[in-house]
């Protein structure tokens, strides 16, 4: 097993072992045991940094299902290294934070199990080179995040938020899967690297644009892009460590990773440029605009996350221009937008992770996140105030923090794109920097709201009853490490650029030589350029609008709550559930006879209808074998038993007549030389008849049913039609010549499967999966019965005590 595969599997293995640790360790130690995993993985990944910075990549293949080109292939390059370091690094800090944040009364073994499942799934996403394996891990992130968001499942809002996030992200994932299948149909490979190498051959095919759109749907839903962003604010019902991990550093970045990874494939298309750039800018503005109107600190950060993700997405869209133009000294400048995207990706994980932890501290120590009840906490929570101040200043793009550097590069990219004369940018390109600047103004405003409404002003009487105090040291370690990185990156950004960002740029632009323009030197001061004036304008206008907010905040009334995307989604889901419930109640009425009618009518319509419409019925009596007298005798016995069964007046008679039918069928198996089937039939009939007789005395007295003549007539017609259909099928398959029989293939069972008994080989080899699933069903049923018996016994024991 290679190191890269081990890095993916270790979190899953640890998740499986947590129940064992939970029984043998005190609850307070579980988190410390789990913390070893992400810390170890992070340290292992750091050893790859020097080698990947030199241009090396690491790929290993585990042959899984080679007949379908599905292999477990890991590929570690500069792009996957960035995300894997964030997954393990921020994951380590989140687990450390959760040790002090979560109470030992919580179900901690479940929490850490879900967290490790998510960590392993995310590592699988960024390491996978095979599209199908990537998709499997992609959906596993949705499942594990569902479990984490619904961790406090006793809360209705948590359950609703988990359902919404899973509904939207899984729907996008299914669309992405279809896009992957289209790519496979065009390229003949599931390897991302091979698809990138064959992009010239597939870009002209008709499925290329549909595949592009479907892949983007998967990326947009996962990264909460407009209009799919509505799941992210509701997902904030999860515990704060979950929000700090999933919704700032990892899960929502999966869509960013997908867009960056597939930029070499789709980046040259105009649809890709406008979709990624346009949706990103719209999300950037809409998230920032809505963050200002929120009163819950977590809700503000949720919409700010949506906005920041839109910023990164728009930069990736702007950077795709370089793919369209191809490598030249004049086009390489547009790769700086992608450089800024990757840079801000890291910066956002640092300051947003710290801010989420800050909100968790406020909620944990004060008891509320409502800014209308908060205020004056600077003197009570001085360290938490420091975290909030540095994190918000960085998010607002102010020096001396890392957010300032990447925000300046963002402004520079939006301005430079207006000089292009492709994709119709010359006519509407000016809107790109304008929208970016307006959204940044709102970003400044909500950052000011977080700091001022929470920590400045006077303390309000509502919170004094809680006896507010600073968080314990253990809860402050993780956010202080993150804000330390916020400051360190500002002063040493080019170290990050040389060792982390430069190899990632080579992954996004694999055909471009690693020039200085692709990995520019990052300056805190770059002269009096448009981006500097844009930043100054953001600060001045932001301060002015914040000062006079009460005069313009009424504009939000133009967007009534009932017409928001979230409200529309709820109405659609509610109406769909009502319609589904109404339809279900029409046929699921608890009447067993009705269920049989639905089944039999569908059977007749589909099977008999197919035979009639396709003229598939064929029967030549002259080719049939002669019918012996003893066979006719068995047939008459079965006919007599069937007719008598209908008019039986007691259950014992019905049971015995049913047994006659079963044993007669067994005799037919003997006559037709199928001893295995005959033996099985005899055993089943004997056991069934015995069970009926054993349970006979517990059954209520059989009373004749009062059935109308109309119902009897319809039941009779359905019975005749079903019997006729089955008879037609039986006659049609005898000496059927319309299609080649498949029995010839199975007759060669000894050569194909090594078994002389054709029935056994069909069940054990040709139908192996079917038989295995049947056994699994029986196993699940057995476990369910065992659990019910055990619970009943435990309940009885409690009652006795």
Q: What is the mean pLDDT of each run of 10 residues along the chain (801 residues)?
A: 87 90 77 93 95 91 82 92 95 94 87 94 94 95 93 88 92 95 93 91 91 96 92 89 84 93 92 93 95 92 94 94 80 87 95 94 88 88 94 94 93 86 67 92 96 88 70 93 95 92 91 76 85 94 93 84 80 86 82 86 89 74 75 87 82 83 88 85 87 73 70 87 87 70 75 78 79 88 88 64 53
Question: Does 770 reside within a domain?
Answer: yes
What's the domain count of the chain?
1
Question: Does 415 reside within a domain?
Answer: no
Question: Does 769 reside within a domain?
Answer: yes
Q: Which helix (H) or strand (E) holds 61?
A: strand 58-65
The answer to whether 471 and 365 are in contact (CB under 8 A) is yes
Give me the residue label for tokens 């400048």: 333
What was the pLDDT predicted at 674? 82
Peptide linkage before 445 cis (omega within 30 of 0): no
Which two tokens mark 309?
Answer: 């993700």
Rounded alpha-carbon distances, angstroms, from residue 50 to 257, 442, 502? 22, 40, 12
Residue in 131, 133, 171 with CA at minimum distance from that of residue 265: 131
Question: Does 795 reside within a domain?
Answer: yes
What was the pLDDT predicted at 248? 74
Question: Does 762 reside within a domain?
Answer: yes
The answer to whether 82 and 46 are in contact (CB under 8 A) is no
**Domain interval for residue 795:** 741-801
Please list, in sequence order, all residues whose beta carbon lies within 8 angstroms of the beta carbon of residue 318, skipping any fewer than 6 positions away: 277, 334, 337, 338, 413, 414, 417, 432
What was the pLDDT predicted at 504? 93
Alpha-carbon gap, residue 367 to 731, rounded angstroms:
76
The answer to whether 446 and 292 are in contact (CB under 8 A) is yes
| Helix axis angle, 208-222 to 156-187, nearest 10° | 160
Please list, in sequence order, all residues whose beta carbon lies within 8 angstroms of the beta carbon of residue 796, skipping any fewer than 6 positions away: none
- Entry pTM: 0.82
Strands (E), 299-412: none
Q: What are phi and psi of 536, to 5 degrees?
A: -60, -40
Question: Does 177 reside within a domain?
Answer: no
> Buried b / exposed e across 34-46, counting CB within 10 Å, b at 16+?
bbebbbebbebbe
Question: Does 778 reside within a domain?
Answer: yes
Strands (E), 651-712: none
Question: Does 59 reside within a domain?
Answer: no
CA atoms within 13 A on the CB side of 286: 19
What was the pLDDT predicted at 140? 95
Residue 384 has a CB neighbour count (10 Å cut-off) of: 26
Distance of CA 354 to the CA centre of its chain: 25
How many DSSP H helices and E strands does the chain contain? 38, 2
User: Helix (H, G, I), strand (E, B), or coil: what is residue 45?
Assistant: helix
The answer to whether 353 and 90 are in contact (CB under 8 A) is yes
């Amino acid at each position: 097993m290679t190191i890269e595969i081990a890095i993916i599997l270790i979190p899953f293995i640890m998740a499986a072992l947590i129940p064992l640790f939970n029984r043998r360790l005190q609850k307070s130690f579980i988190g410390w045991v789990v913390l070893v995993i992400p810390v170890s993985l992070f340290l292992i990944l750091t050893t790859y940094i020097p080698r990947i910075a030199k241009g090396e990549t690491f790929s290993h293949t585990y042959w899984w299902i080679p007949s379908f080109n599905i292999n477990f292939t890991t590929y570690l390059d500069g792009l996957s290294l960035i995300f894997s370091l964030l997954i393990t690094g921020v994951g380590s800090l989140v687990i450390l934070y959760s040790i002090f944040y979560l109470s030992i009364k919580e179900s901690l073994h479940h929490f850490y199990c879900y967290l490790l499942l998510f960590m392993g799934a995310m590592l699988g996403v960024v390491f996978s080179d095979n599209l199908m394996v990537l998709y499997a891990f992609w959906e596993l992130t949705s499942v594990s995040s569902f479990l984490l968001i619904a961790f406090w499942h006793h809360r209705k809002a948590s359950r609703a938020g988990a359902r919404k996030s899973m509904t939207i992200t899984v729907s996008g994932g299914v669309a992405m899967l279809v896009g992957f299948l289209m790519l496979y149909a065009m390229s003949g490979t599931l390897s991302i690297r091979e698809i990138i190498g064959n992009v010239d051959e597939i870009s002209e095919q008709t499925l290329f644009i549909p595949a592009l759109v479907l892949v983007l749907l998967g990326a947009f839903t996962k990264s909460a892009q407009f209009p799919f962003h509505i799941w992210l604010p509701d997902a904030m019902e999860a515990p704060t460590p979950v929000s700090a991990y999933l919704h700032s550093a990892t899960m929502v970045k999966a869509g960013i990773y997908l867009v960056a990874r597939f930029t070499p494939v789709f980046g040259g298309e105009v649809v890709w440029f406008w979709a990624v750039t346009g949706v990103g800018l719209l999300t950037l503005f809409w998230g920032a605009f809505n963050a200002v109107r929120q009163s819950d600190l977590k809700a503000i950060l949720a919409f700010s996350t949506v906005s920041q993700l839109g910023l990164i997405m728009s930069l990736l869209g702007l950077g795709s221009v370089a793919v369209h133009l191809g490598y030249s000294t004049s086009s390489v400048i547009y790769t700086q937008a992608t450089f800024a995207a990757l840079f801000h990706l890291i910066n956002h994980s640092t300051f947003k992770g710290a801010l989420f932890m800050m909100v968790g501290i406020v909620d944990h120590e004060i008891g509320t996140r409502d800014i209308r009840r908060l205020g004056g906490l600077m003197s009570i929570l001085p360290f938490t105030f420091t975290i909030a101040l540095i994190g918000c200043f960085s998010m607002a793009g102010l020096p001396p923090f890392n957010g300032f550097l990447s925000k300046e590069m963002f402004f520079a990219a939006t301005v430079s794109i207006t000089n292009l004369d492709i994709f119709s940018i010359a006519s509407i390109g000016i809107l790109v920097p304008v929208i970016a600047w307006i959204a940044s103004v709102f970003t400044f405003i909500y950052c000011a709201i977080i700091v001022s409404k929470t920590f400045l002003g006077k303390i309000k009487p509502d919170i004094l009853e809680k006896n507010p105090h600073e968080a314990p040291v253990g809860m402050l370690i993780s956010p202080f490490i993150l804000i330390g990185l916020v400051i360190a990156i500002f002063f040493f950004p080019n170290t990050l650029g040389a060792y982390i960002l430069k190899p990632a740029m080579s992954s996004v632009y694999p055909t471009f030589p690693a020039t200085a323009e692709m990995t520019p030197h990052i300056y805190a001061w770059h002269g009096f350029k448009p981006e500097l004036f844009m930043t100054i304008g953001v600060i001045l206008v932001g301060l002015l609008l914040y000062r006079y907010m009460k005069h313009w905040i009424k504009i939000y009334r133009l967007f009534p709550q009932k017409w928001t995307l979230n409200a529309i989604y709820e109405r659609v889901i509610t109406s769909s559930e009502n319609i589904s419930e109404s339809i279900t109640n029409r046929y699921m009425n608890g009447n067993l006879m009705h269920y049989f009618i639905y089944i039999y009518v569908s059977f007749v319509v589909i099977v008999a209808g197919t035979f009639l419409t396709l003229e598939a019925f064929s029967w030549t009596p002259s080719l049939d074998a002669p019918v012996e007298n003893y066979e006719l005798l068995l047939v008459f016995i079965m006919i007599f038993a069937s007719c008598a069964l209908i008019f039986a007046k007691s259950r014992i008679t019905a049971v015995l007549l049913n047994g006659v039918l079963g044993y007669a069928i067994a005799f037919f198996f003997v006559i037709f030389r199928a001893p295995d089937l005959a033996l099985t039939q005899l055993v089943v009939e004997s056991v069934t008849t015995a069970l009926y007789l054993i349970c006979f005395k517990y059954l209520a007295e059989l009373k004749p049913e009062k059935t109308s003549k109309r119902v009897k007539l319809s039941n009779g017609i359905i019975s005749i039609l079903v019997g006729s259909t089955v008879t037609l099928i039986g006659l049609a398959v005898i000496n059927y010549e319309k299609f080649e029989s498949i029995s010839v293939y199975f007759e060669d069972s000894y050569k194909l499967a090594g078994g002389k008994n054709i029935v056994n080989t069909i069940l054990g080899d040709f139908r192996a999966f079917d038989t295995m699933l049947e056994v699994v069903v029986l196993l699940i049923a057995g476990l369910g019965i065992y659990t019910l018996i055990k619970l009943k016994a435990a309940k009885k024991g409690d009652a006795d005590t």
